[in-house]
Amino acid sequence: MSDATEHRKLAAIMFTDMVGYSALSQRDDKLALELLEEHRRLLREIFPRFRATEIKTIGDAFLVEFNSALEAAQCAIEIQRALAKRNADAPADRQIELKIGIHIGDVVHRGGDVYGDGVNIASRIEPLAGAGGICVSMDVERQIRNAVETRFEKLASTELKNISVPMELFRIVLPWERQAPAAAKSEIRPRRGGAKSETIKWIAGALVLLLLIGIGWWGTTLSRKNPAAGNESRNRITERPENIPEKSIAVLPFENLSSDKENAYFAEGIQDEILTRLSKIGALKVISRTSTQKYKSAPDNLREVGRQLGVANLLEGSVQKAGNAVHINVQLIKAASDVHLWAESYDRELQNIFGVEGEVAGAIAEQLKAQLTGSEKQELAAKPTNNADAYDAYLRGSAQHWQTTEASQNAAVHSFEEAVRLDPQFAGAWAALSRSHSLIFFHYDKTPSRRASAEKALNEALRLQPDLTEAQLARGYFQYWVEHDYQGALALMQQLRPSLPNNAEILQIIAFISARLGKWEDSVDSINKSLALNPRDLFTRIQTSQILIATRDFAGAIQVLDNALQIWPNNTDLLGHKVFALQASGRLDDAQSVLKNMAPNFDQFDSSVTALWAQARLRRSPEAAINAFEPHMQNLKREDFPTLLLFADLLELAGRKAESQNVFAQARDKLEAELVSQPNNAEMIGPLVYAYAGLGQRDAAEKALDKFKALASNDARTTGTFYDLSARIMARFGNKDEAISSLEKALSKPCDGITGMPPTPELLRLDPDYDSLRADARFQKLCHEK
């Protein structure tokens, strides 16, 4: 190229960009075009007054050159003034807002376009301005600080992509803007937006599971159905800022900007895939998805969110999917100061979407100066599939998998099946399919066909990529949830921990398995570590309290529950578990104080219902509880046998024998019907024992109890429940020796118990199930042991 067609000069460069244009064009393309043309007319009327040279328009953006920094700044101020005046009289859906960035530097004119650092830096500055704002470099600020009647606010020292040194940036405070709060004056974070992916390259338009671990079988197995039950309070978890690691991050829910709201799963899936990759970086602390999903996509008080989650940094994002084009925008924020650390936009066709999550995770690691190992780099760079439709189905399944109903889990299976049909080599989708089948087997469907489906998908994942972390994780879930191979599952989960250092769900599984193996101290340690990575997850809090109650650390359980109740003050499951801890300590008056202000959650059948029943039994005053149960006894579902058993027990305690027998029979019939297809489901055999006993069917009860014991033989948690149940059944049928022997075993070690709490001397002194033992000296001794 000859010198005649290229020349170099010092110039001020201004970039402008319309806020929200892409989203508006998806919702209402006619209105978007109308506002775009109005915006262009307005700016082109202003440019000549400041000797501006319009280089080009790129979609909704302008690239403009000025002879001086002062003229560029004056033009930008006039543009924002004109738009502010215009917007004051315009309805909300017709607002026009711009972000403007200005830098002065060396540029090269070539072929009617402009290149060089002056252009590159200006393009990186513009997204930091925020809607209605102007961001300038230090070079511009120095030249205009005494020439314009505005003040400047310094932003944090910022590293811009592909710019070798950190930049000192300033935001022009416009006279008509409301003054920022004093605490935020030194550093200002831009509103949602994001840097462009290339200097002038603009392309238009362009997911444990929450574990429903059934600990005991009354009131706990279904407690996760509504994890958000009760409102979150505004109180924060008190954690000192100095305890928050600098290299810590939470990924907030991504905003779905697609016009088709059914595409929300796609935004959730992209967010979850980014989070999954981040969680594999050992140098970072990454908060679990289930703690972040309670927040908005772009919460107002980031400092408070960071404090609640115990992180120094937050990642916000948005996803817009239109046809075959995807636009992903992310920005990394320092929570304590609201300072914008990094932002990027990614425009991809669906067939080229696969590497974006790894790119984002790698960029975040770089920004937080988190050193990556060789294996971590490989994990970030890995592409799960090259089939766009298979990946779309996989993301849909991932979003469905994180929901908490049987229907959503079956929907996830359908989506993963579609993914592997479209790409039979997609090992990650096979692993996800196996995991979903295993989860359904554990909670809802212990049939041979479900087990076979889980195993088939697992074998396929391991055949395709035996070293894939997700495939090995699916293997661990199959060992735990399906095979009940606790030793094997524990060894595998511990082996996977270094590869998934931020996976809170693995720590939960290790905690649960450790308890089932009788390693209660390890269980407490692991559940506490899980809580650190998942501080705003209701399920983890409840499981922590359950483990502490099982170990008879009632004071510790109450502390955990009280802390959780600061976040979810009206949650009936938390309140029910607090009642358990108080009852097991013999503090029935304190338990009653909690119960009187609580409406039991019969719809979800959480611990509040069992707590109400237990209090009525311990106080031998069933009438109020019966009145609470009665409105809910019609149209019960197949899984509502616990409600029937508790109600039957209350009726028996009230002396209403005939009614009690009828309800016990209903529960028996439901359980026997379910056990036809899943004959080894201990979570149904245990309740069936109680139903048989209530009906006086001793032989059937003892036979079922023996089967329950056999199924519990390798599970310390179920074994404890067995001894609690055995003591009650044997006492009911007058077998005092066996009853006391079972009680001694239940009292000698941590135990869940069938009532949500382990046997304690305080409970033995009150529980009507043991009335036949009260004259026995051995029982009296147990009632007073400490």
> What is the pLDDT at residue 758?
94
- Amino acid identity for residue 29 in this structure: D
- What three-state secondary structure class fits 105? strand
- What three-state secondary structure class fits 179? coil
Q: Which class for 298: exposed (0-12), middle (13-18), buried (19 or more C-beta within 10 A)?
A: middle
CB atoms within 10 A of CB 53: 12
Q: Which residues neighbour 512 within 8 Å (Cβ) at sequence distance 6 or greater?
A: 211, 213, 215, 480, 523, 543
The CA distances from residue 534 to 222, 528, 595, 724, in Å, are 20, 10, 28, 32
What's the CA gap between 495 and 489, in Å, rounded?
10
> What is the pLDDT at residue 682?
85
> What is the pLDDT at residue 158?
61
Domain with CATH 1.25.40.10 in the chain: 557-782
Q: Mutual orientation of helices 716-732 and 682-694 as an angle, nearest 10°? A: 10
Q: Which helix (DSSP H) or strand (DSSP E) does residue 136 occupy?
A: strand 133-137
* Average confidence (pLDDT) per 10 residues, the chain, 786 residues: 64 90 80 91 92 87 90 93 88 89 86 79 84 89 79 71 67 66 30 31 26 33 36 33 80 83 80 88 90 78 89 89 83 85 83 80 88 85 89 90 84 96 96 95 90 96 94 95 94 92 92 93 93 90 94 95 93 96 95 93 90 96 95 80 93 96 94 89 90 96 93 86 94 96 93 88 95 95 85
> What is the pLDDT at residue 320?
85
- Amino acid identity for residue 653 in this structure: L
Closest among 357, 435, 354 to 389, alpha carbons compared: 354
The CA distances from residue 94 to 61, 81, 84, 226, 400, in Å, are 18, 17, 12, 39, 36
The H-assigned helical ranges of 497-595 are 504-516, 520-533, 538-550, 554-567, 572-584, 588-595
Eight-class DSSP state of 372: P
Q: Using an 8 Å Cβ cutoff, are 314 and 302 in contact?
A: yes
Phi and psi, residue 330, nearest 5°? -135, 150
Give one DSSP letter per residue of 185-236, joined into a string.
Answer: SS-----S----SSSS---S-----------SSSSSTTTTSSTT-SPPPSPP
The CA distances from residue 190 to 171, 219, 485, 778, in Å, are 10, 47, 52, 72
> What is the pLDDT at residue 142?
82
Q: Is domain 244-384 classified as CATH 3.30.1360.70? A: no
Q: Which residues pair with 136 in a beta bridge?
A: 102, 170
Q: Using an 8 Å Cβ cutoff, are 535 and 237 in contact?
A: yes
User: What residue has token string 């003892």?
Assistant: 702
> What is the pLDDT at residue 77?
93
Q: Mutual orientation of helices 520-533 and 504-516 as an angle, nearest 10°? A: 160
Eight-class DSSP state of 336: T
What's the CA gap between 234 and 746, in Å, rounded?
41
Q: What is the CATH number of domain 557-782?
A: 1.25.40.10
Residue burial 607-627, b: 16+ Cβ < 10 Å; e: rest:
bbbbbbbbbbbbbeebeebbe
Q: Using an 8 Å Cβ cutoff, are 487 and 517 in contact?
A: yes
> What is the pLDDT at residue 163?
58
Phi and psi, residue 281, nearest 5°? -95, 110
Token digits for 293? 């999903």
The CA distances from residue 629 to 571, 610, 754, in Å, are 19, 11, 19
Q: Is the pTM of this model over 0.85?
A: no
Token digits for 281? 């970086």
- What three-state secondary structure class fits 552? coil
Domain with CATH 3.30.70.1230 in the chain: 3-184
CA atoms within 13 A on the CB side of 497: 15
Token digits for 422? 């479209």
Token digits for 672? 């026997």
What's the CA gap between 258 and 264, in Å, rounded?
8
Eight-class DSSP state of 636: -
What's the CA gap between 757 and 476, in Å, rounded?
29
Closest among 586, 523, 531 to 559, alpha carbons compared: 531
- What three-state secondary structure class fits 7? strand
Q: End-to-end alpha-carbon separation of the chain, Å?
A: 93
User: What residue has token string 């650092």?
Assistant: 117
- Amino acid identity for residue 404 in this structure: T
Segments of 605-754 assigned E as strands: none
Domain with CATH 3.40.50.10610 in the chain: 244-384
Token digits for 743? 């009680």
Q: What is the CATH number of domain 3-184?
A: 3.30.70.1230
